[in-house]
Amino acid sequence: MFKVIGLDADDTLWENEIFYRRGRKLFNHLLSSYPVDVDVETFVHNLEIQNLDTYGYGAAGFVLSLIEAADALTKSRFSSKDTVRLIDHLKVMLSTKVQLLEGASGLVATLAEMHRLVLITKGDLRHQRLKVDDSGLAGYFERVEIVSEKSPDVYSRIIADCGIDPGDFLMVGNSLRSDILPVLEIDAWAIYVPNELTWSHETLEDLPLHEPRFAEAATLNDVPGLVEALEAQDE
C-alpha cells in the first residue's frame, strides 16, 4: 500500500488553463486593432518561456508577459486603456471561484479513506492558497505544498517531510513534466491523468510507458482502480 498519495491541483482537480486561454483570446482581440506583422502566438510563447525564470509560474507573470508582448508587437502603440483591460483580466483570474473538474471531489474523498494525502501545486503562493481554501477539499489533505518548481529535489524533500520512502509515494497529475517524470526519477510512483487543456510547456512527446511504476488514467474516476493495480504490482 502507498503510504502517501500526492495530488496536483491545476488542471488535475480544477480548471486552470481555461483562464489562460481566455486571456490569450482577449489579447488577440485587443491586438486586432493594431497593425502587427509577426506571428503573435509564437512571439508570446517565446516571451513567456523567456520570462519564466524571472516571474515563475502563475497568472501575474502571464499577464505581465502579455503587456510586454503588446508593446513590442505594436511598436509601442498599445494603449494604456488596453493594458488595463489585460490587468482587469488578471484580477478576474485571481478572484475566480474554483471550478472542480468532473470526479475531482469524489476522487479525493475516495483516496482519503485509505491513504494520507498531500496536495502539491506550483505557482503563485497566495492564489494557490485561495484556490485550495475555495475548493472545499483542503480538509482531506494532511499537507498543502505550494512550490515554485516541481523538481526531483522538491519531491524528495516533501516525501522526507512526510516521514516515508519514495517507494511508498504515488503522485497523480496532468503534467508529464511536473507531476510524472520527476517523481519516477526518484523511484516513486505516478499516475498520469491527461487534460486536453494542458499548457504546451507542460506536455512532452513520449509517455514513459516502459516504466513499471507508471500508469495512465483516462479519467479521474479511473484513478482509484489504478492505485489498487499498482499496489498489487508492488507486493
Specify the stretch interacting with a copy of itself by CB under 8 A; choose among 68-76, 102-110, 112-120, 196-204.
Answer: 68-76
User: Which SS3 state, helix, strand or coil, does residue 207 take?
Assistant: coil
Specify the stretch interacting with a copy of itself by CB under 8 A; choose among 147-155, 167-175, 198-206, 211-219.
Answer: 147-155
Q: Is 74 in the site for a copy of itself (CB under 8 A)?
A: yes
DSSP 44-76: HHHHHHHHHHHH-SSHHHHHHHHHHHHHHHTTT
CA distance 233 to 235: 6
CB of 178 to a copy of itself, least distance (A): 14
Q: Is 147 in the site for a copy of itself (CB under 8 A)?
A: yes
Residue (21 or 126) nearer to a copy of itself, CB = 126
Q: 176: burial class by Cβ within 10 Å (0-12, 13-18, 19+)?
A: buried
Provide the angle, in degrees to the nearest 10, between the axes of the packed helices 17-31 and 40-55. Answer: 130
Q: Is 79 in the site for a copy of itself (CB under 8 A)?
A: yes
Helices (H) and strands (E) in the chain, counts: 9, 6
Window 82-111: contact mask with a copy of itself (x via CB under 8 A): -xx--x--xx--xx----------------
Instruction: Provide the grid cell at 132.
Output: 485550495
Interface residues with a copy of itself (CB under 8 A) are 54-56, 60-61, 63-64, 67-68, 70-71, 74, 76-81, 83-84, 87, 90-91, 94-95, 124-127, 129, 146-149
